[in-house]
Structure 1
Amino acid sequence: MIYVVVIVLAAQSAIWSPTAAQADGQTCYETADLYSVEVVCEYTGQTLQAAQEAEPKSTWLVYQLCKDGTSGGVEACSNPRACTVDGRTGTLYAVFRDGTRVGTACLTADEAADVDDPPIRTLVIRAFDELDWSPSALSVQPPNGKTLVNLETNFFTANTQASSIPVQLQGSNVVVTARPVAYRWNFGDGTSETTTSPGAPYPGLDVAHVYEQVEQVAVSVDTQYGAASFTVDGGPPETIPSTIWVTGASEDLEVVEALPQLVLR
């Protein structure tokens, strides 16, 4: 006669305490020759993929849990622990995020491979900050590096259009696009202003600043790129939530006082 024993592994909570978002774990069944063991799996293939997409900049890894191993980290596994969840058969894996174990998953071989080979969208989000987004060129009026104290100095930039950067990911031609969505104006006197306007040439004065004392300052404009998307092999664009601030080069500006002069006519 063959007996089936169902055991709840309470020790699992000693290894990892699920967050509120993951508290409702799936029930997996570890299968052996003569018995089944009920195991709470914090992840399935679908929920693990969703977690990766929610935190694309994290490094996710999975390691098979072995019948005779400690299951505390990476280990050679010639005898993985088989499991079933929702009628699907796989093996048990320890799930790690940024080097810390965050749960257990019942995954098929293909689902485990997807963790090590994430979708292009995840790779684009990871790469976004490393792409060569151009800083904005700053224009100041009055020109020639001098302005007057107690009068409005005008700032603007012509960098307003979307930029596209081609990259190769997973053997595909990917084009990432973003445009300036905000500007941070650094006036050099300890003050700054953030706007969605790129400013405008005089007489626009969309971004103007009054210096209250004679001094030498370094001015610059930082640019936030956003409204981002990407295409794969010329396909339709897909939006991504990425943004990045790009620091602009500083320029010297001398704040001077206008002195009255007697002019003979």
Structure 2
Amino acid sequence: MRRAAAGLLFVTALVLLPASAAFADCTSDASLLAGQTRCFNSGAELTEYVSSAEGAAYSYRLSQLCSDLGDSGVCDNPRACVSGKDPGTLYSVLRRPVTSPNADWEAFAVVCLIAGEEPRFEVITWQRVFEVMKTLEWPEADLAIQPVGGKTLVNFETNFFTTTTEPSTQTVRLLGREVQIEATPVSYTWHWGDGSDAYETDNPGAEHVDGVKHQVFHVYTDADVTERPSVDVTYRGRYKVEDEPWRPIHETLTVTGTPVRLEVVTARVHLVGGVSHSSPPASRR
């Protein structure tokens, strides 16, 4: 039912309407889900049209088309096309008169853009969004260590985990449009601080429970030293342009964690209720 509803929302916006000049002979009944686009224009043809006297009277907005939104509502399967001999991606073209900046956008065309043509039409791509994502502040991972109190025992299984597991969302303006960026933790890199190799996991570890094996732990072999363990969190992102579907960002972003003080002692230490947390301010990498 959700899939059908998504189709209804977008069918109107993707119908290729007859136009003069370069678009006069190209019409289509393309829909978002059916994938029946039989006719589309090239980026070069769109450039020629928007540069004409008729085309210059309008503002344009391009949105990537999807083969199928799926049950998740995420556009992770862009509609492919070929322009000339070059592979490309299909975009819907909306327009409105320059003299009516508050008017609704109307469906105008479907265009096949090849690699490198998106910037010409100020298309919001995942690459553009990722560049913005890298400039934003995303949470560091909150590092928890057991035993509590900033001390552990030499040759003892020290338990580590983080409570940073939920997505974070920020909204920005990009090319005049509102864009939501969501970052979800997908992996963690644990640095023990004693010179041993870092350890990467896709789970955040867990609080100590008697009789249950620790998921993320480290054994320190040198006594009477102070180490500086930390954990980095790697985010996978997705973005949403106004009322369009969510789209994936195909690169990850790692936020470096702030080291915390941990003394390795020879005295006996017990794992008891309670967790030692470090909550540094947000930073970026």
Output the TM-score relative to the length of structure 2: 0.50
Return the alpha-carbon distance in structure 2 between the equivalents of residues 210 and 224 of structure 1: 24
Return the alpha-carbon distance in structure 2 between the equivalents of residues 184 and 128 of structure 1: 20
Aligned counterpart in structure 1 of residue 228 of structure 2, from 208, 218, 224 = 218
Q: 1:114 to 1:153 in 2, by over 3 A?
A: closer
Return the alpha-carbon distance in structure 1 between the equivalents of residues 263 and 226 of structure 2: 5
- Give the aligned partner of residue 135 of structure 2: 130
2:234 partner letter: Q
Return the alpha-carbon distance in structure 2 between the equivalents of residues 224 and 151 of structure 1: 28
* Aligned residue pairs, count: 154
Shift of 1:114: 5.3
Matched, 1:199 2:205: yes
Aligned counterpart in structure 2 of residue 241 of structure 1, from 225, 241, 250 = 250
- Give the aligned partner of residue 67 of structure 2: none
C-alpha root-mean-square deviation of aligned residues, in Å?
2.6
Q: 1:160 to 1:212 in 2, by over 3 A?
A: same
- Structure 2 unpaired stretches of 5+: 1-41, 45-82, 85-115, 269-285
Aligned counterpart in structure 2 of residue 168 of structure 1, from 162, 169, 173 = 173
Residues 180 and 225, structure 1, Cα contact 8 Å, conserved in 2: yes
- Structure 1 unpaired stretches of 5+: 1-43, 47-84, 87-111, 260-265
Output the TM-score relative to the length of structure 1: 0.53
The 5-angstrom pairing of residues 60-139 of structure 1 reads 115-116=119-120, 118-121=122-125, 122-139=127-144
Q: Specify the structure having the higher radius of gyration (Cα).
A: 1
Aligned counterpart in structure 2 of residue 230 of structure 1, from 239, 252, 256 = 239
SS in 2 for 1:156: strand
- Give the aligned partner of residue 186 of structure 2: 181
- Give the aligned partner of residue 89 of structure 1: none
Matched, 1:250 2:262: no
Return the alpha-carbon distance in structure 2 between the equivalents of residues 113 and 152 of structure 1: 55
Structure 1 stretches of 4+ with a deviation exceeding 4 A read none
Residues 128 and 242, structure 1, Cα contact 8 Å, conserved in 2: no
Return the alpha-carbon distance in structure 2 between the equivalents of residues 145 and 234 of structure 1: 48
Say which structure is richer in strand. Answer: 1
Higher relative CO (Cα under 8 Å, sequence separation at least 6) belongs to 2
Q: 1:189 to 1:114 in 2, by over 3 A?
A: closer
Percent identity between matched residues is 38
Shift of 1:126: 2.1
SS in 2 for 1:240: strand
